Amino acid sequence: MAAERLSMRTIKEILRLKWACHRSNREIAQSCKIARSSVGECLTRAAAAGLTWPLPPDLDDGTLEARLYRRPGRPAGQRPLPEWETIHQELKRPCVTLQLLWQEYKTAEPAGLQYSQFCVHYRQWAKTLDLCLRQEHRAGEKLFLDYAGESLWITDPATGTRTPVALFVAVLGASNYTYAEASRAADLPAWIASHVRAFEYFGGVTAALIPDNHKSAVLHPDRYEPDLHPTYLDLAAHYGTTILPTRVRRPRDKAKVETAVLIVERWIVAALRHRTFFSLAELNAAIGELLERLNSRRFRKLPGSRRTLFEALDKPALRPLPATPYVFAEWKRARVNIDYHVSLDGHAYSVPYQLVHHEVELRFTARVVEIFHKGQRVASHLRSYRAGGFTTDPAHRPKAHQRHLAWTPSRLTRWGATIGPATAALITAILASRPHPEQGYRSCLGLLRLSRQYSVSRLEAACARALAIRALSYKSVQSILRTGLDQQALVPILTPPRPAHDHVRGPAYYTHQEASDVA
């Protein structure tokens, strides 16, 4: 028998060319675009069936097929048939094929169907199933995800305002076990949080996630290389699964979840249409009750329910959950500033100074900010919400900056005291005269560096003179030393008495004037 049964039109053409036109098998095969062995087999069957040319006018295609392909022995209808429901469920298990199931069937029923008829009978039986059960999905292989089109509502008890909410739906491919929940929005945080709760509801993770091209899942849809959202990829990496978005405008790719959404809308949304909910928790509690009823509802054309199929198929094949649930994290690209910091929400975080002007990625949660360069984490900080602030790791600074910032007011004062009390007092006065002590660091360091050029006694005398005349700067001390004023006696500056004059008013004038104003 040929690998594939020929059409009745081709068979009639073979018989015509052979018996009416007397062509060779090779010529017939070339004309009909089939193998020569198929021509020979067809002619052998025709001879065995006692056919002649021209064919009888009352011989229809059905009768002709029956005469050509009649099998010896018992008719196929009298052979023991397998339980097609069992075959259908076993096909959903990993690595199970129709050929393996046929071999097991033949071992139990040696007189049963051959492999080709086994496949034909199964496919004819499978056509009688509902669309959502007609697809063949491996256990624990895929989780389909989407949002329902019909909205539920939350009512504000104070104002009576109704706010629509999003309805998240996730369905397992093999068992159709379904999860649904309401969230205030269909944004990225809600999308990720719904995934985490769905995994906890199922008690495991599938090998692949099949989302629609939702903006929280796919940034830029593409048939071959879709640009997935980095937070969604982060979730998949945490749970050890992969993301396979459906193709754009290909509804058959997501027929499973489309059917699940339709069922959820009919059995949950429609059932809650007359109820009023004042909080999201109250609404999700009602959804949970109806969801349990939906998953326990028995199938019409298959034995069992979604729950029994889940317990038998999907649950044993799911991957285990990680030790901790995924913590929502966002990603952002940034360029390192010249001060080796990157900004997030107005707060600056340090990175190694070698990455100045380089582009990095920030992964941030509510508590932690991580910074990556070419996929490698280069910095990690506790998150701060203080706008205008800086979070700096000292190890990220260049060595010169580290040495500079090692100076403190107390350290500078102690160093000045090794020269003399006047030097220490001048350093304290310089630091106190600046709005910020750091602004006086350079003056103090320059002042101390003068000890390399001049003797300690001269520097101490110059600092004493600078204090006396209130010349609180490095340049003033340098000028005193350069001109030799430190070696001259310090003459105290006396304030001359105010001369008597008719136009000079004494304090009595203002006292008298205030008394006149009060009167």
Q: What pLDDT digit, counting tens, does each position of 365-374 carry?
A: 888 999 999 8
Q: Taking the alpha carbons of 120, 125, 126, 128 in that order, is the dihedral positive or negative?
A: positive
316, 319, 371: which is closest to 343 by C-alpha? 371
Whole-number Å distance between alpha carbons of 18 and 52: 11
CA distance 181 to 29: 62
Q: Which pLDDT belongs to residue 432?
A: 84
Q: What is the pLDDT at residue 230? A: 85
pLDDT means over runs of 10, the chain (519 residues): 66 86 87 86 86 83 79 54 83 78 86 88 77 60 84 88 90 88 89 93 91 74 67 89 74 64 84 89 93 88 84 90 90 86 90 90 90 91 87 82 64 85 89 71 81 89 90 89 85 57 58 49
Q: Domain 142-317 is in which class?
A: alpha beta
Q: For 53-59, which contacts have Cβ atoms below 8 Å and span 24 or more sequence positions?
A: 53/15, 53/16, 53/19, 53/20, 54/20, 55/12, 55/15
DSSP H helical ranges for 91-208:
98-108, 115-126, 131-134, 188-202
User: For residues 274 and 291, what is the distance between their CA atoms, to the nearest angstrom?
Assistant: 18
pLDDT at 131: 43
Share of the chain above pLDDT 70, in %: 83
Structural contact between residues 328 and 231, judged by C-beta atoms closer than 8 angstroms: yes
pLDDT in the model for residue 516: 52
Q: What are 62-121's pLDDT values in tens digits?
A: 788 888 876 544 444 457 788 888 888 788 776 678 888 888 888 888 888 889 888 888
Number of Cβ within a 10 Å radius of residue 178: 24
pLDDT value, residue 206: 92
